[in-house]
Amino acid sequence: MRLALSLLASTLFATLPAYAEDHGPFHPASVDVYFSPKGGATEACVDAIAAAKKTIHVQAYSFTSAPIAAALVAAKKRGVTVAVILDKSQKTANYSEADFVAHAGIATFIDAKHAIAHNKIIIIDGAVVITGSFNFTKAAESSNAENLLVIRDPKMAARYLTNWAEHKAHSESYAGR
């Protein structure tokens, strides 16, 4: 394990000069990692959403987590701008939180351009990115083997926001059923 980490670190640091040429100087981000089942990923999402001051942008493939949906609605109620892009399956999926957030006045969009819109991303205040294999679902927290990263890095958040906007541009507005 130590050898693998050493090789990974040496590979990463060997690529930093090329990264700096394309992206500017490398500044390591603050990263927290969570694993499921029952590893605190949902709580990490809810806590990060609760700390949001200005904006929250979400992309989700499957979205059935009542705690995450409730945190988004609470953020909207305290004045945070919240917008959600979901996979087309969420229009008809049982237990989807798409209707809950749309009916709460959160700008909700459906990305039907792709076979599946498989992103699992929350971008907070243009500075924090939450991503990983972790679907925003009850099963992801309680049953599945998944991972979640909470990355505090404005440059990375900017790249994710650009991608979020590209997907929003081809998504359709969703008012709920």
Q: What is the pLDDT of residues 1-18, one digit of tens each?
A: 444 444 444 545 555 455
Catalytic residue of the set 91, 125, 153, 168: 125
Q: Is the dihedral of CA 19, 167, 64, 44 positive or negative?
A: positive
- Number of alpha carbons in the 13 Å side-chain half-sphere of residue 71: 23
Q: How many CB atoms lie within 10 A of CB 157?
A: 21
**Comparing 21 with 52, which gets the higher pLDDT?**
52
Radius of gyration of the chain (CA): 17
CB 36 within 8 A of CB 145: yes
Q: Which two tokens stand for residue 152?
A: 């505090």
* Candidate list 57, 76, 88, 120, residue with the active-site label: 120
The pLDDT-based confidence of 23 (bands split at 50, 70, 90) is: low
Band the pLDDT of 169: cuts 50, 70, 90: very high
Average pLDDT over residues 139-161: 96
Q: Residue 89's pLDDT is what?
A: 85
125 included as an active-site residue = yes
Q: Please report the pLDDT score of residue 109 as a whole number.
A: 96
Q: Is 120 a catalytic residue?
A: yes
Q: Can you tell me the mean pLDDT for 122-147?
A: 96
Residue 162 neighbours by CB under 8 Å, 6+ apart: none
Q: What is 26-173's CATH topology?
A: Endonuclease; Chain A (3.30.870)
The active-site residue, picked from 118, 138, 153, 168, is: 118
47 assigned to active site: no
Instruction: Report H helices in 78-124.
Output: 98-103
Burial class (CB in 10 A: 0-12, 13-18, 19+), 70: middle
pTM of the model: 0.83
Which tokens is 62 given? 């499957």
